[in-house]
Amino acid sequence: MLRQGVLRRGVRMFATAVAPREPSAHTIAVSKAQGISNNLTEAIGNTPLIRLTHLSNETGCNILGKAEFMNPGGSIKDRAALYVVLDAEERGLLRPGGTVVEGTAGNTGIGLAHVCRSRGYKLVIYMPNTQSQGKIDLLRLLGAEVYPVPAVAFENPENYNHQARRHAEALDNAVWTNQFDNIANRRAHIETTGPEIWTQTEGKVDAFTCSTGTAGTFAGVTRYLKTVSDGRVKAILADPPGSVLYSYITSGGKLTERSGSSITEGIGQGRVTDNLKQDIDLVDGAVSISDAKSINMVYRCLDEEGLYLGASSALNVVAAKEVAEKLGKGSTVVTVLADGAYRYADRLFSRKWLESKNLLGAIPKHLEKYIVLP
Ligand SMILES: Cc1ncc(COP(=O)(O)O)c(C=O)c1O
């Protein structure tokens, strides 16, 4: 078993609501976890599950967000980063002093940078040269060697993912972690995120929904919750514009329509990745969420809940609200608060940017006070 951490802050939500009981395997895990994490990687996961009070009261449901922005690298992707590295170690592909290579411009790179520093590996990142200087600088300051390369289609051998693979193949003691099709990514969520959600809700969860990039999170959590609940927990995939999965799922696998594009980052997909493939038959449905709804929820979560969320997290919250409304009053729906707004603030809270994306009208008048940048 790869699982390293044990529940640290789990069962917070119901802890005060239920009478004291005999310790279960889970409560023993919780009590064991009060101590010291031996290194950074043991501090990954075991994030709080936060009740979104306004939305819950408004819908008469429990809408719960897994606070993944509290991971050491600031996002859900720390979990995948840890598991792809542990998996490479387990399979003997990575030995002390080795090199991890990945193609990524986002949170996976940041997660890998932290994990690699903590475990003594070098990290090499390939990314399309269309990415901001800020992202390149951040990865470099976290110790990664970064190669921005021309942004070309996946079919082109010069695509950043293929360059990453070739870089690893040319080195001794190196691995291309291949987050999209390496199912150690999904395993992170079968072994950590899913069990945490089940424990924190004491099994009182009716549905799980989130958007997908690699789909490691959605597939892994879905697999775990379906298994532990005997199929009772519903799994609904949330999709932004420009992604094909909404049409794929709602057409029973017949269509892969891609219309529009999205301001969200880290999510949206043009294919069924290996991480999703094995669990696609477990999916109960999909919802498509517009950018206007997502940006509106960024501002609402900030104002009503004090949550400073990136757009993909806000999209997930909109999806959770819609799923809860469909399931009816009293239902409990869990989603993922994948990261904070810190890396996106210059866009999400800029009047000029909102205007350029035609999204200014999505912000209600009383929330315009949060548009603090020109
Ligand atoms: C902000 C954000 N949200 C959601 C996701 C999607 O997670 P997954 O790759 O597990 O589908 C990512 C992935 O990089 C992300 O960066």
Domain boundaries, the chain: 49-70+189-362, 96-172
Span 220-269, pLDDT tens digits: 999 999 999 999 999 999 999 999 999 999 999 999 988 899 999 999 99
Burial class (CB in 10 A: 0-12, 13-18, 19+), 138: middle
Confidence of residue 34 (pLDDT cuts 50, 70, 90): low
Spatial CB neighbours of 254, under 8 Å, sequence gap ≥ 6: none
Probe target for ligand 1 pocket from 104, 107, 218, with the most ligand atoms within 8 Å of CB? 107
CA of 340 to the centre of ligand 1 (A): 12
Confidence of residue 22 (pLDDT cuts 50, 70, 90): low
Nearest protein Cα to ligand 1, atom 12? 266
Residue type, 91: R
Residue 111 pLDDT > 90, yes or no?
A: yes
The distance of Cα 226 from the centroid of its chain, to the nearest Å, equals 19
Confidence of residue 64 (pLDDT cuts 50, 70, 90): very high
Distance spanning both ends of the chain, measured CA to CA: 50
13 or 335, higher pLDDT: 335
In ligand 1, the atom with minimum distance to the C-alpha of 269 is 11
| Contact status, residue 317 vs residue 52, Cβ threshold 8 Å | yes
Q: Answer yes or no: same fold for 49-70+189-362 and 96-172.
A: yes
Q: What pLDDT score does 1 carry? A: 44
| Contact status, residue 112 vs residue 122, Cβ threshold 8 Å | no
Q: Is 77 a catalytic residue?
A: yes
In ligand 1, the atom with minimum distance to the C-alpha of 107 is 16
CATH number attached to the domain at 49-70+189-362: 3.40.50.1100
How do beta strands 145-149 and 62-67 pair? unpaired
The listed CATH number (3.40.1400.10, 3.40.50.1100, 1.10.10.10, 3.30.1020.10) that belongs to domain 96-172: 3.40.50.1100
Nearest protein Cα to ligand 1, atom 2? 266
CA of 366 to the centre of ligand 1 (A): 30
CA of 77 to the centre of ligand 1 (A): 6
Residue with token string 């290579």: 101
Residue 11 pLDDT > 80, yes or no?
A: no
- The single residue of 32, 66, 77, 369 carrying the catalytic annotation is 77
Residue type, 370: Y
Spatial CB neighbours of 159, under 8 Å, sequence gap ≥ 6: 103, 152, 153
Instruction: Give the least confident one: 22-31, 55-64, 121-130.
Output: 22-31
Residue type, 141: L
Span 298-328, pLDDT tens digits: 999 999 999 999 999 999 999 999 999 999 9
CA of 229 to the centre of ligand 1 (A): 25
Kindly list the protein residues whose Cβ atom lies closer than 6 A to any atom of ligand 1.
Answer: 75-77, 106-108, 211-218, 266-267, 310, 312, 338-339
Span 42-51, pLDDT tens digits: 999 999 999 9
Q: Provide the whole-model pTM.
A: 0.91
Confidence of residue 16 (pLDDT cuts 50, 70, 90): very low
CA of 31 to the centre of ligand 1 (A): 30
Interatomic CA distance for residues 161 and 139, integer angstroms? 17
Span 162-177, pLDDT tens digits: 999 999 999 999 999 9
In ligand 1, the atom with minimum distance to the C-alpha of 339 is 1
Instruction: Give the least confident one: 1-10, 63-72, 114-123.
Output: 1-10
Q: How far is CA 305 from CA 120, 244, 269, 355, in A?
A: 39, 31, 29, 25
Q: What pLDDT score does 14 carry? A: 34
